[in-house]
Amino acid sequence: MTKTEPEPTATPAARPAIPREVWVMVCASFVIALGYGVVAPALPEFARSFDVGVTAASAVVSAFAVMRLVFAPTSGRLVRTLGEQPVYLLGLLIVALSTLAAAFSQNYWQLIVFRGVGGIGSVMFTVSAMGLIIRIAPPAIRGRVSGLYSSSFVLGSISGPLLGGALVGFGLRVPFVVYAVALLIAIAVVRWQLRGSPLAAIDTSPTVAAMPMRAALAIGAYRSAVLTAMIFGWVYAMRVSLVPLYFAIVLRQEPGVAGLALATYACGDVLAMFPSGRLSDRIGRRPLIVLGMTVLAAATAALALTESVPLAFAFTLVAGVGTGMVSPAQQAALADIMYGHGRGGPVLVTFQMCQDVGTVIGPVIGGFLAQQWGFPVAFGATAALAACAAVAWLVVRDTKAAAL
């Protein structure tokens, strides 16, 4: 009796490796976020050094955000015409040069102008980077790539203020110079690493057209995505503007403790981002977004109802986990929707503009609510918006199955 060989069993196909070009973009994202965080602690005080009040000093931050919003449609057209990589590098160069010029501002209005120009460059590299990541990420690991890219930015945002706080001791202009130099180095590295890359090359095929807005708006997941983007911008702005004030005014903590609360939120963000991105590749985008928004809503509402510092830190960490669950899954969903429709276009620009709108109006409306009726109302409104986003995703189809 002859011995027969066992029949081979089917093995699941191996997931593709993350392309080298993605790692280049991830490293550049970390440097960009690190540099932005380096400047953040110095910017308000630098503005006030020109003998202006708190409102005028805050306007320097607003000028950056407003110019991002105004120039977003033009950035989308540039991406369609020139391709992601040239617009990305040009945007970084504009931010680098405007930041260097801001370091040598001689009056308040010069600082305002240079920061506004920086906002133009910022939206250029943001829109083009998102488009490039969407285009070069293998469909089977879009969530994983989105989680990795988002995590790098948050890690840079955590590290930046720590370095910036140390650099301020050498003068308020020093962080601006350091950021400009870091961006110039990032430009050189990205240009060198992506030169000749077939993935990052400009697609000149006339058959690849941008997705029309009408087609995107007909997809329920896209409508939910732009709503979530606006709420995400609101949440980000609330985190930066109201959470430190809540710790300082309601919980009566020192400014350093308020800064630690922001770092705690960001840590929760990072802890959830990468595993959530990988999980969204397995079970779909919608479950992660719905669960993340629900967690964010519950933690934000609970934060406003406690006067215990340890509990406030715990709720802040949980809220960060909620946003970390949403971010990579949502970016992957956007990539699913746009797959096969070329570079950028109005669909991507509208998504980015919605997030910027939330960032601009969040501090204004949230601050007004907190001032008139207290922090519980402001945080409660934010929690309600997050819950609305969760409901919006409950009633639409997942994008993952349709894209693969």
**All structural domains of the chain:** 18-199 (1.20.1250.20), 208-404 (1.20.1250.20)
Check whether 344 has a pLDDT greater than 70.
Answer: no
> Which has the higher per-residue pLDDT, 206 or 261?
261
Choice between 293 and 248, residue whose per-residue pLDDT is larger: 293
Cα–Cα distances (Å) from 190 to 26, 180, 184, in that order, read 10, 15, 10
Torsion sign, CA atoms 313, 258, 111, 184: negative
> Which DSSP state fits 140?
G
Per-residue H/E/C for 15-71: CCCCCHHHHHHHHHHHHHHHHHHHHCCCHHHHHHCCCCCHHHHHHHHHHHHHHHHHH
| pLDDT of res. 306 | 85
Q: Are 294 and 185 in contact (CB under 8 A)?
A: no
Q: What count of Cα atoms within 13 Å lies in the side-chain half-sphere of residue 73?
A: 2
91: its two tokens: 């945007």
Contact 132, 146 (CB under 8 A): no
pLDDT digits (tens, 9 = 90+) for 54-75: 567 666 777 787 888 888 888 8
pLDDT for position 202: 57
Report pLDDT for 41. Answer: 66
- Compute φ and ψ for 341, nearest 5 degrees: -115, 25
Q: Which two tokens stand for residue 186?
A: 């990032």
Which of 64, 61, 40 has its CA nearest to residue 263? 40
- Rg, the chain, Cα only: 22
Each residue of 355-391: pLDDT tens digit? Answer: 888 887 877 788 788 878 888 898 899 999 999 999 9
Coil, helix or strand at residue 173? coil
Which of 382, 269, 282 lies closest to 326, judged by CA? 269
Helix, strand, coil content of the chain in percent (nearest 5): 80, 0, 20
Residue-by-residue DSSP string for 272-304: HHHHHHHHHHHH-HHHHHHHHHHHHHHHHHHHT
Does residue 322 surpass a pLDDT of 90? yes
Higher-pLDDT residue of 329 and 248 is: 329
Cβ-proximal residues to 363 (8 Å cutoff; 6+ apart), any chain: 237, 238, 240, 241, 242
Tell me the C-alpha distance between 245 and 239, whole Å.
Answer: 10
> Residue 154 to residues 97, 164, 195, 337: CA-CA distances in angstroms?
24, 16, 27, 25
pLDDT, tens digit (0-9, with 9 covering 90-100), for 252-307: 877 667 667 877 888 888 889 888 988 988 888 899 999 999 999 999 999 888 88
